[in-house]
Amino acid sequence: MNLTLKIWRQSGPKDKGAMKTYPIQGVEADMSFLEMMDMLNEQLVGKGEEPVVFDHDCREGICGSCSMYINGEAHGPGRGITTCQLHMRSFNDGDTIYIEPWRAKAFPVIKDLMVDRSSFDRVIAAGGYVSVNTSGNTLDANAIPIPKEDADKAFDAATCIGCGACVATCKNSSAMLFVSAKVSQLALLPQGQVEAADRVLNMVHQMDLEGFGSCTNTGACEVECPKGISLENIARMNREFLTAAVSAD
């Protein structure tokens, strides 16, 4: 199929950036979206032009790198997928496709479609862990049975890939879904209980410092989250936060 790509090009953080048009021919339905981008880049390099810069690595929906805003949607059309899992069979011959970076104050653009998501790492560093040293001198793994239901819920929350689609989708650029996923995972497990109050306060504090917006419960994040992280996690975090804030007073 033949397509017209409108792609955000920005040479660096200080550049204003603009959409540029690239026609592309011979795209096959079985190609992934990123393979289509590879094809474009091969052509650009062939002409001595600079290829479009974008983050990617695993190409199977798990590393969370491939942040692209496609036709007004994080990771493009289709639910439960990342950009690297999007296939060109979702498009038709003659389509025009708009491709932009994540846009949020806490995710500044580095170049073209590549953004800086280190704010997420700093939120985790603020408390997204259990404070246990790696000595191996811990309890036997089966010493504390954990109800399967809790373990499964913790697992579901833990599958967040840190892609930032939730932030990019939210009109307030809120990171609540991301933060609540980690808070929930640890809140649901006995190992995470001891520090639960500090954890939620510190992580939320860091989230605010990074310039993420507030949550107004639009639920858009859940719809676009490639891993199906549920809004229940936000509710759980709000409860954790309230309890922690009250007892901290």
Partner 1 sequence: MKLDARIPEGPIENKWTKHKAEIRLVNPANKRHIDVIVVGTGLAGASAAASMAEMGYNVKAFCFQDSPRRAHSIAAQGGINAAKNYQNDGDSTYRLFYDTIKGGDYRSREANVYRLAEVSASIIDQCVAQGVPFAREYGGLLDNRSFGGVQVSRTFYAKGQTGQQLLLGAYSALERQIAKGKVKMYARHEMLELVVVEGKARGIIARNLITGELERHSAHAVLLCSGGYGNVFFLSTNAMGSNVTAAWRAHKKGALFANPCFTQIHPTCIPVSGELQSKLTLMSESLRNDGRIWVPAKKEDAEAIRQGKLKPTQLTEEQRDYYLERRYPSFGNLVPRDVASRAAKERCDAGLGVNATGEAVYLDFSAAIERYGKTEANIRGLHSASKEEILKLGKDIVEAKYGNLFQMYEKITDDNPYETPMRIYPAVHYTMGGLWVDYNLMTTIPGCFALGEANFSDHGANRLGASALMQGLADGYFVAPYTVGDYLADEILTGTISTDTDAFVQAEKEAQDRIDHLLNNKGSKTVDHFHKRLGKIMWNECGMERSVEGLTKAIADIQALREEFYKEVRVPGKAETVNPELEKALRVADFIELGELMCRDALERNESCGGHFRAEYQTPEGEALRDDENFTFVSAWEYNGDPSSAKLHKEDLNYQFVEVKTRSYK
Residues 154-183 interacting with ligand SF4 (rule: CB under 6 A):
160-166, 177-178, 181
Residue 115 engages ligand SF4 in binding (rule: CB under 6 A): no
Say if CB 221 and CB 174 are below 8 A apart.
Answer: yes
Say if CB 122 and CB 206 are below 8 A apart.
Answer: yes
**In sequence order, which residues have a C-beta less than 8 Å from that of residue 110 and are 6 or more positions away?**
12, 13, 53, 116
Query: Following CA atoms 205, 211, 212, 214 in sequence, which dihedral angle do they give, to the nearest 10 degrees?
Result: 70
Residue 58 engages ligand FES in binding (rule: CB under 6 A): yes
Say if CB 10 and CB 53 are below 8 A apart.
Answer: no
Residue 187 engages ligand SF4 in binding (rule: CB under 6 A): no
Residue 81 engages ligand FES in binding (rule: CB under 6 A): no
Residue 61 engages ligand FES in binding (rule: CB under 6 A): yes
Report d(CA 55, CA 120) in Å as an integer. 16
Residue 123 engages ligand SF4 in binding (rule: CB under 6 A): no
Crossing angle (nearest 10°) for helices 232-248 and 176-187: 70
Stretch that binds partner 1, among 93-101, 135-143, 218-226, 241-249 (CB under 8 A): 135-143
Residue 82 engages ligand FES in binding (rule: CB under 6 A): yes
Residue 32 engages partner 1 in binding (rule: CB under 8 A): yes
Instruction: Answer with the entry of ligand SF4, partner 1, ligand FES, none that 225 interacts with (C-beta below 5 to 8 A by kind).
Output: ligand SF4
Residue from 6, 41, 53, 59 in contact with ligand FES (CB under 6 A): 59
Stretch that binds ligand FES, among 7-15, 43-51, 57-65, 101-109 (CB under 6 A): 57-65
Say if CB 86 and CB 75 are below 8 A apart.
Answer: yes
Residue 189 engages ligand SF4 in binding (rule: CB under 6 A): no
Report d(CA 168, CA 87) in Å as an integer. 21
Stretch that binds partner 1, among 93-101, 142-150, 170-178, 230-238 (CB under 8 A): 142-150
Residue from 53, 63, 158, 223 in contact with ligand FES (CB under 6 A): 63
Say if CB 33 and CB 41 are below 8 A apart.
Answer: no
Q: Dig out the tokens for 229 from the structure.
A: 């992280």
Stretch that binds partner 1, among 31-39, 69-77, 216-224, 240-248 (CB under 8 A): 31-39
